Structure 1
């Protein structure tokens, strides 16, 4: 069954800003049901339409708009985003938001708001330094997201950097098991794993608190590494209709880097092509790099590399990183609940990941 298309209504006085909002939503696959010119038009549409919008985007200078009217719309379960151009309007509507300066900023506001409207109600006080944030996802299951995320975090902490590892895989969380931190999902706040290395696990039960923790973690750590698991339908995930997509929504708006892992067998490449196409249609803030995991060596290497490159060419990305296949080193680390640095620091895989960690620091 296909996901329901996200629906919006605009009610914005200034034509230039309204056009920007509507075109941005259209470009991200939203269905703009109605473009109201005044508040009575909003009310009439909602009373007569068989389709209720997920969100209403309006401006404080709209003719006829009132705080009472906005509250009546919210009471219908519709999320309202109220934007203000001028200070005097902001005083009349204290909950109004400043005008977004870019399409990505606007999309970041509406993503994730459909199901959990209060998730981002508190914004931490801005500080001078901010963590570098890496999201790790894959086009299919068993691509190696968790192994890579754990060991990147380990290498950064070993190098003396305050690092937070986040298990945000909604279907197959494994960080706690692999690093020997059972009960990680029950912890409130960050669990110290070793010097400079902390971890947390995001679950359906703690999602609201976890997003708030991430907002603050940006200013407490030097690096945040987030294991997102497989992303099979990025448009549906970014819609925010399910708790499981909220961390990806956060990554799409806050992260600096997004690594997409995939192997090079037929089915994996098929799913990589689909994810690549979805990424073209859905804007995200982080710089995207592709990771060719379990990469073959020898004569078969060039053929698989070529197939991998073809799968992502639609996105125009030339940044492909190869991680060698090394099941022995992974098994040793997993059986001892250790990182590759602890179990076999001279292995080819560990050296490869150590090199990647060095690139992140630049």
Structure 2
């Protein structure tokens, strides 16, 4: 099942629309000309564009825009002239306008399988770097920037060409939806958990409850958080575990924004079967292949991070934890703030490695104002560059080195070299 945008003759569209919807596809736009299609690509984020093969709906500009965003384009030709025009501009997925809908639906559903770099059989047997299916972003109390990091890590993973889901699993109230300007009337992740608890969370349901963040060449799916903190009992340990397992099968990377609390005092209650408020956080951390521990670069924030890190490594292996220190600035730490942060982490926690993110209030304010990621709102900001470098270095597989080519000298130079 795919998200389709249509730009067809009205009579042709009427003949196939009902069958495409009945087959499970989602029609995200019904348009007239190729300029309308071009304008909607970044707004509605279709996976497949079905257009007429005539010049009114199919042009080299539209085809180039679809190729740039990884969107498939399928044309329906009324005549040999239209088919030739489509082939001339480089589009080869062309069907006759009178083709049975079943044949069109098979082409839409089939497509070209792009091997994932996560668990790709082609990379088996060699060191392809860390394979991180689920990335949990945790941070202590005090708003260290956990949600900002989670949102932009998901954006950079999507920009690298992966299928990414961003999950708001904070049992104390979601923040991802307002940051990205998405509707939060219905909690997407809570719905996924309820379906997973009933064994009904399949691919169709995941596509139905997810909201899409549309961005040029970097869209990703978002499962919004709780509408209010009083609904935390919906995020039980078993449900969260089952929901993340289903998402792992559908997406290459699942980035989870967790809660801050690691307390287990609630388990001392008499009722051992009562729901646990922090169960969602513990379940996400247990399922994660990589955990980002985010803290603030000031005396209070570093103190909280160091205490929380000690509790965190009691729950997950230290090898799976990456320490990320946010908003590093000399105004809070004095001269050479980066060195002071590293010295503090090394002295009090024995942490030799940490990722330091610069304080970049202008870029984060722009992203919040526009309800976009840093990649879209401030692509050249230092904070975005630091997050991209972390994703490239720690989360993405290492690219396979290009084979070395032996230089071939001209015959005359080869003889001179031998001489």
TM-score category (smaller protein): 0.5 to 0.7
The reply to whether residue 265 of structure 1 matches residue 288 of structure 2 is no
Q: Distance in 1 between matches of 2:382 and 2:250?
A: 32
Match of 2:396 in 1: 361
Q: C-alpha displacement at 1:258, in angstroms?
A: 0.9
Deviation per CA, 1:292-341: give whole Å up to 9, x if none.
11012599353564355434655433221000000111011111111111
1:333 counterpart = 2:386: no
- Change in CA separation of 1:252 and 1:265 when aligned onto 2, cut-off 3 Å: same
Q: Which residue of 2 aligns with 1:132?
A: 133
Distance 1:275 1:305, change over 3 A: farther
1:279 and 2:322 correspond: no
Contact 2:212 2:222 (8 Å CA) reproduced: yes
Q: C-alpha offsets along residues 272-294 of structure 1, whole Å, 9 cap, x if unaligned?
A: 23213323544447611111110
Please give the secondary structure, in 2, of the residue aligned with 1:253: helix
Quote the Cα distance in structure 2 between the aligned partners of 1:342 and 1:307: 29
Flag the structure with larger Rg.
Answer: 2
- 1:184 and 1:200 in contact (8 A); partners too: no
Unaligned runs of 5+ in 1: 1-127
Q: Is the 8 A contact 2:233 2:276 kept in 1?
A: no
Provide closer, same or farther for how the CA distance between residues 200 and 210 of structure 1 changes in structure 2, counting only shifts above 3 A: farther
Distance (Å, rounded) in 2 between the aligned partners of 1:199 and 1:237 = 30
Identify the residue that residue 224 of structure 2 maps to in structure 1: 201
Q: Distance in 2 between matches of 1:259 and 1:153?
A: 13
Q: Is the 8 A contact 2:286 2:316 kept in 1?
A: no
Cα 1:216–1:325 change in 2 (3 A) is: same
Give the counterpart of 1:321 among 342, 351, 355. 355
Q: Structure 2: how far apart are the matches of 1:336 and 1:221?
A: 27
Mapped contact 1:143–1:262 kept (Cα < 8 A) = yes
SS of residue matched to 2:303 = helix
Contact 2:175 2:225 in 1 (8 A): no
Q: Secondary structure at the match of 2:153?
A: helix
- Alpha-carbon spacing, 1:230–1:309, altered in 2? closer, same or farther (3 Å): farther
Aligned ranges 1:140-155 → 2 under 5 Å: 140-155=141-156
1:263·1:293 contact (CA, 8 Å) conserved in 2? yes
State how far apart, in whole Å, the 2-side matches of 1:268 and 1:246 are: 24
Query: Which residue number corresponds to residue 97 of structure 1?
Result: none
Higher helix share: 2
1:1-362 paired onto structure 2 within 5 Å: 132-183=133-184, 185-187=186-188, 188=191, 189=206, 190-194=210-214, 196-203=219-226, 204=232, 206-208=234-236, 209-231=239-261, 233-236=262-265, 242-284=275-317, 287-297=320-330, 300-303=334-337, 305-307=339-341, 309-311=343-345, 313=347, 315-359=349-393, 360-362=395-397
**In the comparison of the two structures, how many residue pairs are matched?**
235
Offset of residue 255 of structure 1: 1.0
> Are the counterparts in 2 of residues 277 and 314 from structure 1 also a CA contact under 8 Å?
no
Q: Is 1:137–1:259's contact at 8 Å kept on the other side of the alignment?
A: yes
- Alpha-carbon separation, structure 2, partners of 1:263 and 1:135: 17
- Whole-angstrom CA distance in 1 between matches of 2:132 and 2:251: 6
Q: Structure 2: how far apart are the matches of 1:318 and 1:324?
A: 19
Partner of 1:66: none
Aligned alpha-carbon RMSD (Å): 3.1
Partner residue, 2:60? none
Instruction: Supply the distance in 2 between the matched residues of 1:267 and 1:336 (Cα, whole angstroms).
Output: 30
Distance 1:347 1:250 in 2: 34
Instruction: Tell me how far apart the structure 1 counterparts of residues 181 and 144 of structure 2 sit (CA, whole Å).
Output: 21
Q: Deviations over 1:92-140 (max 9, x none)?
A: xxxxxxxxxxxxxxxxxxxxxxxxxxxxxxxxxxxx7786211111123
Q: Name the TM-score, length of structure 1 as normaliser.
A: 0.57
Distance in 2, Cα, partners of 1:312 & 1:282? 21
- The question of whether the paired residues in 1 share the 8 Å contact of 2:297 and 2:325 is answered with yes
Aligned to 2:63: none
Which TM-score applies when normalising by structure 2?
A: 0.50
> 1:230 is paired with a residue of what secondary structure?
coil
CA deviations over 1:131-169 (Å, ceiling 9, x no partner): 621111112322111111111111111221100101112
